[in-house]
Structure 1
Amino acid sequence: MSAAQSRAARALLDWSRGDLAGKVGFGEETIESFESGGSDLASGQIEALRSALMAAGVVFTEDGSAGVRLSDRGGDEGTRLGALTTENDR
């Protein structure tokens, strides 16, 4: 997930940085730094953010556009088989 996707997903959900931070137990400054390009997060931290957004109904597009949209059905789609890694298969 890119910083732009995180910002766009929050906008779709009408969530503040604080809302997202609260869902995953991070400080708001962590979200702000990631989304502004000020710092790179560990892959596990990015996956936690992505999972929280997906649980709220955000779908990350995989058509090369690196976009986001809201799901028609909401809920968590889980991790797609092709995206499983040793970091996110737990």
Structure 2
Amino acid sequence: MSSICASQIRAARGLLDWSQDHLAQQAGVGICSVRRIERDGPGSRRSKVVERLTDALQSGGIIFIPRGVKLRSDIVPPAQSSKEICP
């Protein structure tokens, strides 16, 4: 995968309605690592942490695309799954 940026990680979390803490737990990394990467960008020394974050987000249904993210089509966004749909 090509390199990703901090805004893609934040956007992916937003699509999944995940907090930084939830992402850290899913990826098995510290919350401080998530905050640092979202603030400062991935950086080459953090490649293993970024790999774990992207793996967790992809497991949650995220697809990383050039300069963005999208949700897999078979995943119902959390905001929609909790709403009633009326005809």
Tell me which interval the TM-score lies in, with the shorter structure as reference length. 0.7 to 0.9
Structure 2: stretches of 5+ with no match in the other structure:
76-87
Q: Corresponding residue for 1:29?
A: 32
Report the RMSD for the aligned CA atoms in angstroms: 1.7
Q: Taking structure 1 as the reference length, what is the TM-score of the superposition?
A: 0.71
Unaligned segments of structure 1, at least 5 residues: 75-90
Q: 1:57 to 1:39 in 2, by over 3 A?
A: closer
CA distance in 1 between counterparts of 2:74 and 2:62 reads 10
Decide whether the 8 Å contact of 2:27 with 2:55 is kept in 1: no
Provide the identity percentage: 38
Q: Report SS of the residue matched to 1:36.
A: helix
More helix by share: 2
Report the secondary structure of 1:59's partner residue. strand
TM value normalised by structure 2: 0.73
Structure with larger RCO (C-alpha < 8 A, sep 6+)? 2
Which aligned segments of 4 or more residues in structure 1 are displaced greater than 2 angstroms? 38-42
Tell me which amino acid in the other structure corresponds to 1:70.
L
Question: Corresponding residue for 2:73?
Answer: 72
Matched residue count: 71
